[in-house]
Amino acid sequence: MSARLAVLGSPIAHSRSPLLHAAAAEVLGLDWDYQRIEATEQSLPGVVAGLGPEWVGLSLTMPLKRAVLPLIADHAPLVDRLGLANTVRLGERPHLANTDVGGIEVVLAAHAGARSGVVLGGGATAASALEALGRLGVRERIVAARRPDVAALQLAGHAERFVSLATVDLTHAEVVVSTLPGHAETVVRLPAAVPGTPLLDVAYDPWPTALGTRWLAAGGRLLHGLDMLIEQAVLQVRIFTDADPDVAMVQEDEIRAAMREAVHR
């Protein structure tokens, strides 16, 4: 019988995760059946309770990254720090992990030590982005959200300042991460020029987003959201195969290349 895995969320039809994990399974010679499952905060407990012994793991997207916490007792320290999980390792001792932080950290590694970083958006992915920027030594971390008062409550302790998307000043930002949905209309006002400043836009469908297109027109560098998705998926494969989550697998370069090919990246 194939080992079963899935990505859960709502909406979920657009997810590329099945392509990524199928590519990894082929490299590793594993018999994995990886699916998409539509699940909401209300239906998640029933879905998790109904999983049989053939289930190896789950990837979680919105709106489930907080909702899953009370369903699984064993958490990686980062999950408790952020109050977020995007990975469930099933089996005899189910376990929650967060690979979003590591995925963002890898993509932005070249910008370690930047003086100022701005995160656009105030949701779950914003918390992971702030943690990644902190790990990279970015000294000032600013959140720009539609409702900065709400973002300040949800992300207390993770950022130095909270401002409105409509008033954020990106002129002096050395690195920017957008966690806004790709289809969202945004009121972000861009400077006339952002020469060479990197923007990691975690949205990847459609690509580029309207914000990404404007960023490029202003002279900025646009980092692809699929790169972050691939890197966090590589970390998930470590967890799903019971490898050390902090140590690269022997075939990791081959896995990463297969994943990139699978999503035409």
Q: Which of 185, 228, 182 is nearest to 205 (CA)?
A: 182
Q: CA distances (Å), 44 to each of 49, 75, 89, 256, in order?
A: 9, 18, 15, 30
CA R_g for the chain: 18
Q: Which of 126, 130, 98, 104 is nearest to 117 (CA)?
A: 130
Cβ–Cβ < 8 Å for 113, 136: yes
What is the Cα–Cα distance from 202 to 5, expressed in whole angstroms?
A: 23
Label residues 202-222 b or e (16+ Cβ within 10 Å = b): bbbeeebbebbebbeebebbb
- The single residue of 21, 36, 65, 89 carrying the catalytic annotation is 65
127: phi then psi, degrees, rounded to nearest 5: -65, -40
Stated as kind and residue range, the H or E segment containing 230 is helix 225-240
What is the Cα–Cα distance from 238 to 255, expressed in whole angstroms?
A: 11
Stated as kind and residue range, the H or E segment containing 224 is none
* 65 is annotated as an active-site residue: yes
Task: Please provide the distance, in angstroms rounded to a whole number, between the alpha carbons at the two ends of the chain.
Answer: 31
Give the number of other Cβ atoms within 10 Å of residue 161's Cβ.
13
Give the catalytic positions in this structure. 65
